[in-house]
Amino acid sequence: MADFSRCTAIVTGASRGIGLAIAQAILDGGGSVCITARREAELESALETLGAGDRAIAVAGASDDAAHRADAVRRTLDAFGSLDALVNNAATNPLYGPVIEADSDGVRKILEVNVLAPQAWTQEVWRAWMSERGGVVLNIASVSGIAVEPNLGAYGVSKAALIHLTRQLALELAPGVRVNALAPAVVKTRFARALYEDREELIARAYPLGRLGVPEDIAAAAAYLLSPDAAWVTGQTLVLDGGASLTSLLGADPF
């Protein structure tokens, strides 16, 4: 288990799924967390699930809202006195279909939440803490940002941009701040439910490891990249796909 006893983190989009699992991993390692999401009731339920007492706080708001970002950073510093890690997990995908037919407002919203917000969150924590004291940033991207998919094009474009943003920020913020990303394939969360619901067994056949991902799979990889064990790792995107990309090289499309 990674040692997070000296770590305070903000995890966005953490009321459930991958974000909640990452927050749990940090707490299990002795750290403190601020979880954010849009709905206050869901955050309160998440805090009960985490069961971490005064080592966890929640701040409700939209990830792409500047006032919310500033409030979350301020309240984290007030509560814990440091801000050592940022996990940009919040994402949206209101569109399904060809990019050429996509509604411009929908594409704009995807880019605002999935690309511009992570940049702004990183800027906020950099200015408030990490520029002088260092830290680590982890962006949750997707295999959609690496492999072309027929009906998730706008989402894929945003995740491809997030992967490049990861590399850019890793260069700019070194040596004090490490910046990495994770690129999961289909993970069993409410966010991804439409991709596997009622056909999970069929989709899982395309994965050499024989199953879809679960939030804990992603949290385990996140714990490594956030921890001192990854002290010489920055600018990297770790693909977590159960081996699915191996079969795609043979002409199949497992995603």
The tens digit of pLDDT for each residue in 95-145 reads 999 999 999 999 999 999 999 999 999 999 999 999 999 999 999 999 999
Residue 253 domain-assigned (yes or no): no
Q: Please state which of the ranges 19-33, 206-220, 237-251 shows the lowest mean pLDDT.
A: 237-251
- Closest to 35 measured CA to CA, from 12, 68, 69: 12
For position 252, what pLDDT does the model report? 46
Residues 6+ apart with CB under 8 A from 112: 64
Check pLDDT > 70 for residue 254: no
Q: Which of 81, 67, 86, 108 is nearest to 13 (CA)?
A: 86
Which one has a higher pLDDT value, 245 or 253? Answer: 245
Structure confidence at residue 181 (pLDDT): 98
Alpha-helical (H) ranges within 112-197 are 117-125, 131-133, 153-173, 193-196
Percent of the chain with pLDDT over 90: 83
Q: Does residue 53 lie in a domain region?
A: yes
Taking 60 as the threshold, does the pLDDT of residue 250 lie above it? Answer: no
The number of residues making up the chain comes to 255
3 found inside a domain: no
Q: How many CA atoms lie within 13 A of 152 on its CB side?
A: 21
| Residue numbers of the domain that contains 120 | 8-248
| 155 part of the active site | yes
Q: What is the mean pLDDT of residues 28-33?
A: 98
Residue 179 resides in a domain: yes
Tell me if 159 is assigned to some domain.
yes
pLDDT band, residue 251 (cuts 50/70/90): very low
- Whether residue 63 is contained in a domain is answered as yes
**Range with the poorest average pLDDT among 7-11, 75-79, 185-189:** 185-189
- Would you say residue 178 lies in a domain? yes
Q: How many domains, the chain?
A: 1
The predicted model scores a pTM of 0.93
Q: What is the CATH number for 140? A: 3.40.50.720
Question: Which band of pLDDT confidence, cut at 50, 70 and 90, is reported for residue 160?
Answer: very high
Q: Which of 12-21, 169-178, 180-189 has the lowest mean pLDDT?
A: 180-189
**The predicted structure's pLDDT at residue 253:** 47
Q: Name the H helices within the chain.
A: 17-28, 40-50, 66-80, 104-111, 117-125, 131-133, 153-173, 193-196, 200-204, 215-226, 244-248
Give the model's pLDDT for residue 205.
83
Burial letters 51-74, b for 16+ CB under 10 A, else e: ebeebbbbbbbbbbeeebbeebbe
pLDDT at 57 over 90: yes
Residue 201 has pLDDT above 90, yes or no: no
Given a cut of 80, whether residue 85 has pLDDT beyond it is yes
Catalytic residue among 155, 196, 207, 224: 155
Domain-embedded: residue 254: no
CA distances to 145, 191, 215 from 180, rounded to whole Å, are 14, 22, 18
Token match 């301020």: residue? 74
Report residue 162's pLDDT band, with 50, 70 and 90 as the boundaries. very high
For residue 28, the 8-state DSSP code is H
Dig out the tokens for 255 from the structure.
Answer: 């995603």
Task: Report the distance separating Cα 139 and Cα 222, nearest Å.
Answer: 9
Q: Are 38 and 62 in contact (CB under 8 A)?
A: yes
